[in-house]
C-alpha cells in the first residue's frame, strides 16, 4: 500500500517515496497555454496549494533533473513535456511566516537565504554596483534577528536579475501563501511595521522587473490596497468562483472515489455530508486534507482547521454590526444566505460586511453555490458540510464566551430530553459576562437560535414564522418522525419582583399556554414537547410539557 501523504509539502518526496499520488500535472499545461505574466490563485488553507507549487517548481527548475518524478504523469503526454527543467526558477513559501513580527522576519529571511545559497554560483563577475547591492542584501538576509525586512526589499528582484544574466533566460517565480505574513501581522497588531517592506519586496519583482517570464502566487485572499498587483497588464486573479484552475486544488468526486477505494473505504452519503460541498468554479470539490486524514484514521470526524483566518474571523466578529449579526443568525438557521460578497479586497484592508463574508468564503468556512448578481457581487453562500459546521459551533461558543463543548451539552440534553442537564448547561450560558445586559426575550431567542446549528442535520429550524394563530419563537421540527420535535417559547420579566422565583415560574407556565392556545405545534408529527423559558437577567425558569 502506498503511504498517505498527509502534510507532505515536497512534490519530489511525494513521488520518490511511494506516497499516494493524485495527478494534477495538467495544471502546468494550463499555466503555459494561458501565458499570463502574473497569476494569483486564492484558495482556503489545506487545499493543496503548497504541493502544487512545489510541483510547478520541480517541473520548470533548470537546476533540477525531474524526468523520473514526472515519469508517467499526464503532463508528459503533452507537447509541453519539452519545457521540463528549462527555466531559472525561484520557489518561496510564506506558509509558515506566522506568530510575532520577529518570527515572521526570521522565517522570511531564512527562505531567501536558502534560495541565495542554492544559487551561490551566479553571484560571480558582478560589477561594482551589483557587488554593493549584493553585499547589502546578503548582510540583511544573514541578520535575521533585527526584526526588519527593509534590508531585503530588493532581495527578490536582485536574485531574478542575476539569474537572467547567468542563464540568459527569463525567470519563473512561485510564491506560496504570499498573504500569510500580512494576515498574521494584522491579527498580531504589527501590520504597519512590515506591510511596506513586504509590499515593496513583492511589487518590485512583479511590476518592475524585466527578468520575469511568469509568476504564480497562492494565498487565501487578494491584498489589494498595497498596490502589489496594480498596473500589471497581464494579471489573472482566480478566486474560488473562477473556473480557471478549479479542479487542481482539492479533490474532485472521481479522485475522491479512487482514493477511498484504494484504502478500502466507500464514498457514501455520510462521507459526502462530512467532507463534500465546496464549489470552486464549475467543480464540486472535496477538502483534500480531511480526506487524506480520513483515509489514514478511517474515522469520520472533523480534521479541518484554519488557524490564521480563524483568528481574523474571531476578531472581526467582535466588531460586526447589527446587519451582519442578523445575516449571521439567518445563515446559522438556514445554512445558506443571499448577500453581497467581496473577494477582490481583503477584510483587513477594507472592513465591511461584504469583505467579511468574502473572508468566510476565501477561508473555506462558506462556499458559493449561486451567482445571483455577478455585476453587483451578490451570491448565495452556504456552509459546505458537517465538518465545517463544527467550526461554526466553535465560533458561536467563542462569541458567547463559552468553553468548548458547552453548546453540544445544551443541545444533546435537549434532544435526549434530559431536563436537569439542559437547565444546568443553559444556566451556565446565562452566567457569561457578555450577557449581563440581556433585556428582552429576543436576546435569549437569538442566543438559542445560534446553538441550533448543532441540530440542523436532524431538525428543521423554524423561527419567527407564522404557525397556527401567531408567530412562533423557535420550533425544532424532527426530520425523522421517530424523533421528538420541540416547540420553544421565550419570555422576559421586565420589572424586578420580590417573589422572583414565583413570578418566573408563572411566566414559564404562560409560555406553555401560549404554545397550546396559538397551536404552534401545527403540522408536527410524532412526539412533541413544549418548552417555556422565562428569564430575568441571569435567572431562568424552564418548563417542559409533553403534547397530549
Express each pLDDT in 249-284 by its tens digit: 999 999 999 999 999 999 999 999 999 999 999 899
For 206-220, 427-441, 510-524, which range has the lowest pLDDT when averaged over its residues? 427-441
> In this predicted model, which residue has the larger pLDDT, 87 or 474?
87
Question: And the C-alpha cell for 305?
Answer: 482547521
Same-domain pairing of 161 and 264: no
pLDDT of residue 439: 47
pLDDT of residue 224: 79
pLDDT of residue 131: 94
Same-domain pairing of 322 and 277: no
Contact 89, 119 (CB under 8 A): no
Q: Tell me which of 228, 263, 297 is where a domain ends.
A: 297
**Residue 433 gets which letter from DSSP?**
G
Same-domain pairing of 35 and 124: yes
Question: And the C-alpha cell for 369?
Answer: 453555490
Sheet holding 235-238, edge to edge: 89-93, 171-176, 212-219, 38-42, 235-238
CA distance 385 to 306: 15
Residue 339 lies in a domain: yes
Give one word for 283, left, alpha or beta, with left for phi > 0 and alpha for psi -120 to 50.
beta
Q: What is the pTM of this model?
A: 0.85
pLDDT tens sequence across 160-212: 999 999 999 999 999 999 999 998 888 888 988 998 999 999 999 998 889 99
Same-domain pairing of 115 and 209: yes
CA distance 111 to 96: 10
Cell 561594482 sits at which residue? 128
Question: And the C-alpha cell for 334?
Answer: 438556514
Residue 230 lies in a domain: no
Does residue 306 register a pLDDT over 70? no
Residue 430 lies in a domain: no
C-alpha distances (whole Å) from 120 to each of 106, 111, 134, 138 are 20, 14, 11, 11
Please choose, from the candidates 67, 64, 58, the residue with its C-alpha nearest in 3D space to the C-alpha of residue 28: 58
Q: What value, to the nearest 5°, has the Cα angle with vertex 228 and ends 222 and 233? A: 95
Residue 438: which pLDDT band, with cuts at 50, 70 and 90?
very low
CA distance 34 to 70: 21
Cell 537572467 sits at which residue? 164
Same-domain pairing of 44 and 108: yes
Question: And the C-alpha cell for 329?
Answer: 443568525
pLDDT of residue 470: 64
pLDDT of residue 311: 76
pLDDT of residue 465: 67
Overall number of domains in the chain? 4
Residue 302's contacts (CB-CB under 8 Å, 6 or more residues apart) are: 274, 290, 386, 387, 390, 391
Domain that holds residue 445: 435-546
Q: Environment class of residue 58 by beta-carbon count within 10 Å: exposed (0-12), middle (13-18) or buried (19+)?
A: buried
Q: What is the DSSP string of 47-93?
A: SSHHHHHHHHHHHHBTT---TTTTTTSGGGGSGGGGGTT-B-EEEEE
CATH number at residue 105: 3.40.50
Question: Which residue stretches of 282-350 are H helix?
Answer: 288-297, 307-319, 322-334
Amino acid at each position: 500500500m502506498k503511504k498517505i501523504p498527509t502534510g507532505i509539502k515536497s512534490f519530489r518526496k511525494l513521488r520518490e517515496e511511494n506516497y499516494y499520488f493524485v495527478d494534477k500535472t495538467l495544471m502546468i499545461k494550463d499555466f503555459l497555454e494561458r501565458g499570463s505574466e502574473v497569476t494569483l490563485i486564492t484558495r482556503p488553507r489545506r487545499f493543496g496549494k503548497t504541493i502544487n507549487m512545489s510541483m510547478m517548481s520541480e517541473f520548470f527548475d533548470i537546476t533540477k533533473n525531474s524526468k523520473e518524478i514526472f515519469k508517467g504523469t499526464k503532463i508528459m503526454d503533452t507537447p509541453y513535456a519539452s519545457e521540463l527543467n528549462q527555466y531559472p526558477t525561484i520557489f518561496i513559501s510564506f506558509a509558515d511566516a506566522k506568530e510575532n513580527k520577529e518570527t515572521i522576519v526570521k522565517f522570511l529571511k531564512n527562505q531567501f537565504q536558502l534560495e541565495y545559497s542554492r544559487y551561490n554560483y551566479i553571484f560571480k563577475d558582478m560589477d561594482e554596483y551589483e557587488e554593493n547591492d549584493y553585499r547589502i542584501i546578503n548582510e540583511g538576509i544573514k541578520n535575521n534577528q533585527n526584526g526588519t525586512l527593509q534590508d531585503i526589499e530588493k532581495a527578490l528582484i536582485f536574485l531574478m536579475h542575476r539569474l537572467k544574466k547567468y542563464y540568459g533566460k527569463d525567470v519563473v517565480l512561485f510564491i506560496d501563501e504570499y498573504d500569510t505574513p500580512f494576515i498574521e501581522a494584522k491579527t498580531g497588531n504589527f501590520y504597519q511595521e512590515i506591510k511596506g517592506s513586504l509590499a515593496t519586496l513583492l511589487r518590485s519583482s512583479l511590476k518592475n522587473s524585466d527578468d520575469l517570464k511568469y509568476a504564480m502566487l497562492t494565498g487565501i485572499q487578494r491584498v489589494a490596497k498595497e498596490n502589489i498587483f496594480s498596473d500589471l497588464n497581464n494579471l489573472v486573479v482566480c478566486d474560488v468562483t473562477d473556473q480557471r484552475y478549479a479542479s487542481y486544488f482539492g479533490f474532485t468526486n472521481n479522485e475522491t472515489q479512487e482514493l477511498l477505494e484504494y484504502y478500502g473505504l466507500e464514498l457514501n452519503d455520510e462521507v459526502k455530508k462530512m467532507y463534500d460541498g465546496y464549489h470552486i468554479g464549475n467543480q464540486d470539490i472535496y477538502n483534500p486534507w480531511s480526506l487524506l486524514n480520513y483515509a489514514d484514521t478511517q474515522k469520520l470526524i472533523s480534521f479541518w482547521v484554519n488557524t490564521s483566518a480563524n483568528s481574523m474571523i474571531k476578531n472581526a466578529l467582535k466588531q460586526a454590526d447589527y446587519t451582519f449579526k442578523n445575516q449571521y443568525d439567518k445563515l446559522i438557521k438556514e445554512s445558506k444566505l443571499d448577500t453581497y460578497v467581496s473577494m477582490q479586497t481583503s477584510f483587513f484592508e477594507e472592513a465591511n460586511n461584504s469583505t467579511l463574508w468574502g473572508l468566510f468564503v476565501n477561508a473555506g468556512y462558506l462556499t458559493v453555490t449561486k451567482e445571483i448578481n455577478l455585476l453587483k457581487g451578490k451570491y448565495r453562500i452556504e456552509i459546505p458540510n458537517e465538518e465545517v459546521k463544527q467550526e461554526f459551533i466553535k465560533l458561536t461558543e467563542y462569541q458567547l464566551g463559552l468553553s468548548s463543548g458547552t453548546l453540544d451539552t445544551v443541545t444533546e440534553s435537549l434532544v435526549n430530553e434530559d431536563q436537569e442537564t439542559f437547565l444546568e448547561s443553559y444556566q451556565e450560558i446565562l452566567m457569561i459576562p457578555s450577557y449581563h445586559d440581556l433585556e428582552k426575550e429576543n436576546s435569549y431567542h437569538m442566543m438559542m437560535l445560534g446553538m441550533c446549528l448543532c441540530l440542523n442535520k436532524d431538525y428543521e429550524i423554524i423561527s419567527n414564522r407564522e404557525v397556527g394563530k401567531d408567530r412562533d419563537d423557535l420550533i425544532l421540527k424532527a426530520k425523522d418522525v421517530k424523533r421528538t420535535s420541540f416547540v420553544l417559547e421565550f419570555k422576559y420579566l421586565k420589572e424586578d419582583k420580590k417573589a422572583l422565583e414565583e413570578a418566573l415560574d408563572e411566566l414559564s407556565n404562560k409560555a406553555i399556554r401560549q404554545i397550546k392556545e396559538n397551536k404552534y405545534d401545527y403540522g408536527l408529527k410524532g412526539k412533541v414537547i413544549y418548552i417555556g423559558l422565562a428569564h430575568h437577567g441571569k435567572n431562568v425558569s424552564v418548563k417542559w410539557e409533553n403534547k397530549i
